[in-house]
Amino acid sequence: MTILIILATKPETALEKDIKGHFDPISLKFRGLPKALLPISGDSTLTRLYKTLGAYFKKVYLITNAHKYKTYERWAHDLQLSSDAVLNNGNGPLETVNYRADIEHVIRARKIQEPVFIVEENQMAVPADLESMVQIIKNRDQNVLFCETVTDDDSYKVLNVRNFCLDTETNQLVDIQPPESCHKDSSLSQVNGCASGYFFTEEGIRTLIQQSSGSKDGASSMEEILGDFRKLHRHLKVTVQTVYNPLVGWRCEGLGFNEYFNLWYNAPIDKPKEYLDLFDPISVRTNARVGLMGNPSDGYFGKTLSLSIENFWATVHLLPKSSYEPFAHGIEICFNPLCDPVAFESLQSLTRICDTNGYQGVYQLLLATCKVFWTYCKRNRISLPTKAGFRIIYETNIPRQVGLSGSSAIITSLFKALMKYYNVEGIIPRAVQPSLILSVERDELGLMAGLQDRVVQIYGGLVNMDFNQEYMTLNGHGIYESLPISLLPPNLYLAYVNKPKSSGTTHNLVKARWDSGDVEVIEAMRTFASYVEQAKKALEEGKLTKLPALMTSNFQLRRKIFGDAALGAENLRMVEIAERHGFAAKFAGSGGAIVMLYKKCTKDPGGELAAVAKLREALQAEDFVFCKVIPSEGQVV
């Protein structure tokens, strides 16, 4: 089979330099891209070339210089080329181009012994024309030269196919059996053109390498690889095939940015395509959650009882791309100005935002989620069909860093949206999904987290979770049971701090003690699990008066194990205010929010209204936020 070699070692073009001289919002998105990677009617010339020709070749290699290597490496990754597909010739942007040396580099570095087809990175025609090139060289035992020209009738492109061999003595191109009707006096002025590709047999490439080794001069163009292009026209009969292709002008070295954007950016290169399977926008909403009992034992093979709530949520939208816009098949993340700000009023504003929200936003969560989803599908041989590209848009109103599962809500929303987009909702088991979502933060990003949040956000509603170690080791997930929210007390309340800290740090010391086999921590996690068993039984039997004491015990045990310094003064103050006003309270998550239940919830409903009013006033007086919990219905299994 034939090898495709793409030469991308030329220095910066006039277009690339011109783009760097523009600083308007439109030109900035093209900054740093080689000309071959600039979009024309959706795809770049190089991408269109590879998508059309790549499947016909055993291997595809691209050689470039050190200046553009990382850019082309990213392009190769995007198209899932092999890791050795891009070669670096080590040259800087100002060094002289030597195509002969570049070809020799690829041949020797990749130990190529098969026939090769060589093209420049900016070579592109309509797919039918490129495929006709492949058909011409298929099973061919002679070298072939392809040439683009402009004819007198202003047709955009002419494909010239010529047979040739190399005369090793003269280093000139020699015709094989030149026809009698050859026009010996024809000149380049009559047939203007440029070489667009070469096919070499095994013998032809060996000859080229030999000539390259003995030559002191390089070849800075496709024509110079084989000698004088004018002599080629004088000695060879040209077989002509006219096809539509507006890209002769694209080869113009003097092309500037304004001409590119006005004439080429949306140029109708291809016929209308139907290969993009467009879809309706996909929107997935995931609610925040509160831990009612047992947390934080979910990270320690314990048990938890959790509730998703309607008060706050995160939403992810997948919006389809148009067939003809740039990067039409790709995935684009649209930054949310609140979650991932990229524009600031001033340096002072930037600094205050960093002080308030830190440096880590949502962007990393989205990247890691996509990676985990794709990796799982690949490992489990789940086919992900090629469809239209899409934009990821995200938004959330879940308070930051108060332990209400804001991060996992965004991850869960995107994971569900991807499952829906690729139609694998029924293929990835529901019980497995929380573990995959957990791995986004724990394994990919190195953050402390447990399964509780992810389970309740996948199942929704009120969920009882048993993370029995033996069962999880055997099955890869816990035992999850959805309970009717009608079992809950009529009123639950939530309070959280206004200036929170990261919710992923308070577990660290306890986790280290757990890992070292600390008896106190291990026993505490068993006790947390027993609280869940008692709470579940109380709910099912309608004995709601037992819940306040269990919530208080859950909090006290957590305080004993973690210590006041880890829990934080503001969190302890919220619990203290709640207790003083007749409410049982415990942490809703890892810190920053508490969930509360009136201790006389079934005995004194009238008194509860007055107690809530006083509780609200007391919390708000110290700048805490107070609200009534709105339980979320669970999903139907």
Do 48 and 119 belong to one domain? yes
43 strand-pairing partners: 40
Where is pLDDT greater, at 250 or 479? Answer: 479
Strands 593-598 and 493-496: antiparallel
User: Per-residue confidence at 93, pLDDT binned at 50, 70, 90?
Assistant: confident
Where is pLDDT greater, at 511 or 148? Answer: 511
User: Per-residue confidence at 181, pLDDT binned at 50, 70, 90?
Assistant: very low
Q: What is the pLDDT of residues 414-468, one digit of tens each?
A: 999 999 999 898 899 999 999 999 999 999 999 888 899 999 999 999 999 999 9
pLDDT at 542: 94
Q: What CATH number has the domain bearing residue 446?
A: 3.30.230.10
> Quick one: DSSP state of residue 544?
G
User: What number is the average pLDDT over the span 272-287?
Assistant: 70
Q: Would you say residue 184 lies in a domain? A: no
User: Per-residue confidence at 554, pLDDT binned at 50, 70, 90?
Assistant: very high
Where is pLDDT greater, at 557 or 114? Answer: 557
User: Per-residue confidence at 257, pLDDT binned at 50, 70, 90?
Assistant: confident
Q: Would you say residue 610 lies in a domain? A: yes
Paired tokens of 547: 């819940």
Q: What CATH number has the domain bearing residue 545?
A: 3.30.70.890
State how far the Cα of 498 lies from the Cα of 593, in Å rounded to an integer.
Answer: 10
Do 508 and 453 belong to one domain? no
The backbone region for 401, taken as left when phi is positive above 0, alpha when psi lies in -120 to 50, beta otherwise, is left
* Cα-Cα-Cα-Cα dihedral sign, residues 96, 101, 106, 108: negative
Do 216 and 335 belong to one domain? no
pLDDT at 188: 29
Strands 3-8 and 59-64: parallel
State how far the Cα of 494 lies from the Cα of 120, in Å rounded to an integer.
Answer: 64
Report residue 352 CA to chain centroid gap. Answer: 29
Do 329 and 247 belong to one domain? no
Do 456 and 561 belong to one domain? no
Where is pLDDT greater, at 209 or 173? Answer: 209
State how far the Cα of 479 lies from the Cα of 481, in Å rounded to an integer.
Answer: 7
pLDDT at 550: 97
Q: Which of 13-17, 23-27, 50-54, 549-553 has the highest mean pLDDT?
A: 549-553
Domain, as residue range, for 42: 3-153+193-265
Where is pLDDT greater, at 315 or 353? Answer: 315
User: Helix crossing, 569-580 with 547-562: angle to 10°?
Assistant: 150
User: What number is the average pLDDT over the span 67-85?
Assistant: 88
Q: How many CB atoms lie within 10 A of CB 175?
A: 15
List the catalytic residue out of 141, 453, 515, 564. 453
Q: Would you say residue 76 lies in a domain? A: yes
Query: Among residues of the chain, what percentage have pLDDT more than 70?
Result: 76
Single-letter residue type at 568: G
pLDDT at 324: 62
Last residue of a domain, one of 483, 501, 534: 483
Q: Would you say residue 199 lies in a domain? A: yes
Q: Would you say residue 71 lies in a domain? A: yes
* DSSP codes of every residue in 435-476: HHHHHIIIIIS-----SHHHHHHHH-SEEEEE--HHHHHHHS
pLDDT at 153: 43
User: Per-residue confidence at 49, pLDDT binned at 50, 70, 90?
Assistant: confident
Q: Which of 67-81, 272-286, 458-472, 505-519 has the highest mean pLDDT?
A: 458-472
Total length of the chain: 637
3 strand-pairing partners: 59, 116
Do 472 and 497 belong to one domain? no
Where is pLDDT greater, at 492 or 327? Answer: 492
User: What number is the average pLDDT over the span 606-616?
Assistant: 91
Query: Among residues of the chain, what percentage have pLDDT more than 90?
Result: 44
User: Per-residue confidence at 603, pLDDT binned at 50, 70, 90?
Assistant: low
pLDDT at 601 over 80: no
Q: What is the pLDDT of residues 186-239, one digit of tens each?
A: 332 333 345 567 777 777 777 666 655 555 555 555 545 544 333 333 333 333
User: What number is the average pLDDT over the span 367-391?
Assistant: 90
Do 377 and 442 belong to one domain? yes
Last residue of a domain, one of 483, 511, 541: 483
pLDDT at 150: 46
Last residue of a domain, one of 438, 462, 483: 483
State how far the Cα of 78 lies from the Cα of 543, in Å rounded to an integer.
Answer: 58
464 strand-pairing partners: 305, 481
Residues 6+ apart with CB under 8 A from 108: none
Do 408 and 433 belong to one domain? yes
Where is pLDDT greater, at 325 or 600? Answer: 600
Q: Would you say residue 158 lies in a domain? A: no
pLDDT at 50 over 80: yes
Q: What CATH number has the domain bearing residue 69?
A: 3.90.550.10
pLDDT at 249 over 70: no
Q: Would you say residue 423 lies in a domain? A: yes
Do 367 and 417 belong to one domain? yes
Question: Among 228-232, 252-256, 570-574, whose mean pLDDT is lowest?
Answer: 228-232
Give backbone dihedrals phi and psi of 106, rounded to 5 degrees, phi first. -65, -45
Give the mean pLDDT of the chain: 81
Closest CA to 437 of 415, 462, 465, 463: 415
Q: How many CB atoms lie within 10 A of CB 93?
A: 12
H-helix or E-strand spanning residue 522:
helix 519-541
- The tally of domains found in the chain comes to 3
pLDDT at 592: 93
State how far the Cα of 295 lies from the Cα of 527, in Å rounded to an integer.
Answer: 11
Where is pLDDT greater, at 396 or 190? Answer: 396
Give backbone dihedrals phi and psi of 77, rounded to 5 degrees, phi first. -65, -45
Do 561 and 599 belong to one domain? yes
Paired tokens of 564: 């006041």
pLDDT at 629: 96
282 strand-pairing partners: 318
Do 477 and 498 belong to one domain? no
User: What number is the average pLDDT over the span 46-59?
Assistant: 85
Q: What is the pTM of this model?
A: 0.70
Q: Is 18 a catalytic residue?
A: no
User: Per-residue confidence at 177, pLDDT binned at 50, 70, 90?
Assistant: very low
pLDDT at 520: 94
pLDDT at 168 over 70: no
SS3 of 279-322: CCCEEEEEEEEEEEECCCHHHHCCEEEEEEEEEEEEEEEEEECC
Q: What is the pLDDT of residues 463-480, one digit of tens each?
A: 999 999 999 999 989 999
pLDDT at 261 over 70: yes
Q: Would you say residue 32 lies in a domain? A: yes
Do 304 and 428 belong to one domain? yes
User: Per-residue confidence at 607, pLDDT binned at 50, 70, 90?
Assistant: confident
User: Per-residue confidence at 599, pLDDT binned at 50, 70, 90?
Assistant: very high
User: What number is the average pLDDT over the span 171-180?
Assistant: 44
pLDDT at 172 over 80: no
